Structure formats: structure tokens, C-alpha cells
A and B are shown apart, each in its own frame.
Chain A
Amino acid sequence: MTTVFDFSLLAYDPPGWGRVLLVGFWHSLQLAAGGYFLGVVIGILGAAGKLYGGKVVRDLLEVYTMVIRAVPELVLILLFYYVGTDLLSRASAALGFGRVDIDGLTAGIMVIGLVQGAYATEVFRGAIRAVPFGQIEAARAFGMPGALVMRRVTLPAMLPHALPGMANLWMIATKDTALLAVIGFSELTLAARQAAGATRAYLLFFLTAGALYLALTLISNVIFKRVERRARRGLVSARQA
């Protein structure tokens, strides 16, 4: 142990582990983006269901968001992963397709999307409620059907209110991808651990992985700030606490 950090271990080509880390990072990005997108879709549907749905739909959605927010993500990920893959392979076996193996990426996106969806539902519900009701009423008075009102008026008008929450959710999504290391999907955290285990340079690889996550967070922060400023243009500042 003459030097604390042997940076040649981070070289792109083997024997360096740079490539492994970057591939892991790319997997993390795919997971986060896919899960986030799925979560936003679930969130918009869930918010619409909670606000405009029937009593049963509302209560079911309430149960969904409550359970997701009360149970640790790690447990949910394990449960969804096993239940999801088990159910799917059983279903395809019953239909005569034989066993299907869901790859880790798809399963991971599903799992993160389901977790994100619960939080997104709350974000969008709050944002939609912040839209002045007269605007939605006006659209209805024009004779627009529900979906059209949603697309033309409600969704664009709620965007500025939803963006801070959406930015927050994206940060949570990027960090939640690390949990998939526990079920053996080789995203950035697990890649760093494998590299560290092989070279015994634990500090170096975990710090490098941390720097990659941090860079992602900081860059996303800047982008979200820009988008938010653009979405809020023309809006009277409501953030007078």
C-alpha cells in the first residue's frame, strides 16, 4: 500500500475497470429513465383516477399509494421482482408459450415505475388541483370530452406546479436504481462493488461511482431548473411563503 488511490484501475480497457463502471452507469441511466417514464404515465392516470374516478377506483388508488409509501423500496423491489417474473412465466406457461425469462432491465423498469407511480400520483394530483377550476370548466363548456380537456388544458396548465415534484422524483429514481444491486442487476453500484471486490480498492471504486451519481444529480438539477423557468414564464410568482 504505497499509494492510496491507484487511478490506473479506472482505465477504460482491461485491466482497468472503467468500461465496467460506464456500462453499469449506462444501465442505471436506462433503468432510471424507463422507470421514471413509466412512473409519470402511472402518475397521470392515477391522479386522474383519484380526482375524477368512481368511489371504488379512488379507494383502490388510495390503497396503492399508501402501501407503496409505507413499505421500504427494497422490500417492494424484491416482492415485485419475484411476483412479477413468477406471474409472467406462469401466465405464458399456461398460454402454451413455455417459460419466458424477463431480463433484469425490463423487470427493473417495471419495479421502479410501479414505485415511482405512487409518488407521481400524489405529485400530479396536487398539481392538477392547483389549476384554477374555471379553466377546466371553460374547456368543458366548449364541449370538449374529458380526454381532450386533459390533453389541451389540464396537463399543460398543471405542468409548472408539477415540475418541482417531478424533479424530485427523478432524483429519487436515479438513486433507487442502486437498490437493484440487491437483486443482482449489474447497474453502477453493483458494478462498482464487483470492481472493488476484484481489486480490493473499495474506496476508489465507491467514490468514483458516487461521483458519477453526483454528476448526474447536479446536471439534472440544472436542466430541471431551466425547464421549470421556461414552464413558469408568464406565471405570477406564487412562491411567496
Chain B
Amino acid sequence: MAELDTLSSPGRRPALGPIRLSAVLAQPHRIVMLLVALVGLVLIIRLMDWAWLPGYLPKLGEGLMMTLAMLVSSVFFGFLIALPLGLVQVGGAWPFRWLATGFCTIIRGTPLLLQMWLFYYGLGAVFAQFPEIRGSWAWDYLRQAWPYGFVALTLSFAAYEGEVMRGAFAGVPRGELEAAEAFGMSRWQIFRRIWFPRAVHRALPTLTGEIILQLKSTPLVATIAVTDLYAVITQVRQATYLTYEPLLFLVAVYLCLSAVLILTLRWVENRVPTER
């Protein structure tokens, strides 16, 4: 259970592997708790109604794919936007700095749900008014829901990660940059060889936490009619009139997703060499 500690303290990396598992089982009260949890699980499986599950598995799979696609694409593109956002806030000319700070403040200061509805209903209605847009190739995409969800998620990730990158760029020790300058490197070389890699390195530990937060934001796309995992579960609930079973299943899936993500990201993180 302590595996998931990274969520709160992204900088700290507890040891991973068999040592931890044996430590979990070494204490008798944990064995009892594990047994209680197992009995609870068995009771949930035996006493509740899971007859709907096999029939919905293909749909659930599609929903899961949509959730993962949203997560991966928004993290990737969001990070690409976050880099310049962080950079200009540290070393940019004032109009850029001002714009980037404003963007981060606005996105971080309003709920993602509201942003999503603003894009989908607000911009969607505006786009629909222009015959030029309706006639263009882009309309095929603009009348679907997922581009709006993708844009909202990407901008949100960019704003939060941009703030992290700002700190990371600002936190690179001056001496290292001065040393590079003393070697006669050009500004671009300093950026490419020292400033950028060092900043990404510093930002890496917090990235895990941000990506988990992003995973937790993805179900909001269901409110604008994108059929992700959450939307499929909503369909199940409406079709079967079951309250708890689909929701519990959803909780279990997200727990597994978070755990897999954390373990994968920690593996990646451990491959990046750090002093100490």
C-alpha cells in the first residue's frame, strides 16, 4: 500500500521490490487486514449482481482505450506547450511573460469542467454559426465531442505543468549556466546542453503526480458526450438500474490504472541517473 506514496511526495522514492512486499507481510496485523479485504472482495463478487459485466466487456475495453488515448495525447501535447510556457515565464520578454503567466493563472483558477463546457457548448455553438467553418474539412472534427475534450485536457495539463517547468527552469543553479558561458557556448547551446536537460531533470519527479492528476481529470470528458470508460459505466447504470456494482468496478479499474501508471513512471524515473 505504501507503494503509492509518490502521490503526495513526488520527490521521495521509496525502495521498490521484494523487500517491500516481505515488509508488508511481516506484520501479523497486515495479514489479518489482507484476509478481511479478501473476504470483503469475495462477498462483493458473490453477493452482488455482476451478470452485466461479460456483455459490456467489449464496450468497456473501447472506453478504456478512449480514456488512455485522452491521457497519453493530452500529457504529450500538454508537456510540449508547457516547455515554452515555463521558459518564457523565467527568461522571456515581458509581453510573453505576461501572457504565459496570465494563461496559467486563468486555467488554474477555474474548474476544468467549466472550461470543457465553455469549449464544447460555447465555441461549438460559435463554430456552427459560420458557414465557412461548416463547409471546411475541419467541420468533420469540430462537430464531434472529443476534440474539445482533448483541447481542454491539454490546456489544463499545459498550465499546471507550465508552472512546474517555470520552477524547474528557475531552479537550475546559476553557476552551471555561468560555467557554460565561460566555456564560450552560445545561448542556444547553453539552453540545449545545460539549461533544458537540467530543468527537465528537476521537473521529472513531479511529473508522476501531475500525470496521475491528469488521469483523474479524464472522466470529465464524459460530460461532453465522449464515450470514455466513465461514460460506458454511466450507460451500464442507466441500462441495468444498478447503483453500486458499476461504480465499484470503475473504482477498481482506476485503482489498477493508477497503480500501473505509478509503477511504470517510477521505473522510468529510476532509469534516469541522479546524484545521491
Please give me the residue from chain A that is nearest to B1 by CB atom: A62
Cα distance, A178 to B218, chains bound together (Å) = 15
Among B113, B115, B122, B248, which residue has the most Cβ atoms of chain A within 10 A? B113
Interface positions, chain A 179-235, Cβ under 8 Å from B, are 179, 181-182, 189, 192-193, 196, 200, 202-203, 206-207, 209-210, 213-214, 217-218
**B129 A202 Cβ-Cβ under 8 A:** no
B94 to chain A: closest CB distance in Å?
Answer: 20
Cα distance, A56 to B4, chains bound together (Å) = 18
**A69 B7 Cβ-Cβ under 8 A:** yes
A-side interface residues, number (CB < 8 Å): 49
SS of A interface (majority): helix
**A206 B258 Cβ-Cβ under 8 A:** no
**A206 B114 Cβ-Cβ under 8 A:** yes
A86 contact set on B, CB distance < 8 A? 243
Cα distance, A56 to B32, chains bound together (Å) = 10
**A75 B247 Cβ-Cβ under 8 A:** yes
**A214 B106 Cβ-Cβ under 8 A:** yes
**B243 A69 Cβ-Cβ under 8 A:** no
Cα distance, A63 to B151, chains bound together (Å) = 34
A197 to chain B: closest CB distance in Å?
Answer: 8
A72 to chain B: closest CB distance in Å?
Answer: 4
**A72 B219 Cβ-Cβ under 8 A:** yes
**Does B192 belong to the interface (CB within 8 Å)?**
no
Interface positions, chain B 161-215, Cβ under 8 Å from A, are 171, 212, 215
Cα distance, A202 to B124, chains bound together (Å) = 9
Known: A59-B29, A70-B212. A210 touches B114 (CB 8 A): yes
A179 to chain B: closest CB distance in Å?
Answer: 6
B244 contact set on A, CB distance < 8 A? 82-83
Among B27, B117, B220, which residue has the most Cβ atoms of chain A within 10 A? B117
B247 contact set on A, CB distance < 8 A? 75, 78-79, 82
A90 contact set on B, CB distance < 8 A? none
B123 contact set on A, CB distance < 8 A? 203
Interface positions, chain B 125-180, Cβ under 8 Å from A, are 125-126, 129, 171
**A70 B125 Cβ-Cβ under 8 A:** no
**Of B57-65, B78-86, B249-257, the one touching chain A:** B249-257
Known: A55-B27, A171-B109. 20 other contacts (CB 8 A): A59-B1, A59-B33, A60-B33, A63-B1, A65-B8, A69-B4, A69-B7, A70-B259, A75-B219, A83-B244, A177-B111, A178-B111, A178-B113, A179-B111, A192-B114, A192-B117, A200-B125, A213-B110, A217-B109, A217-B110
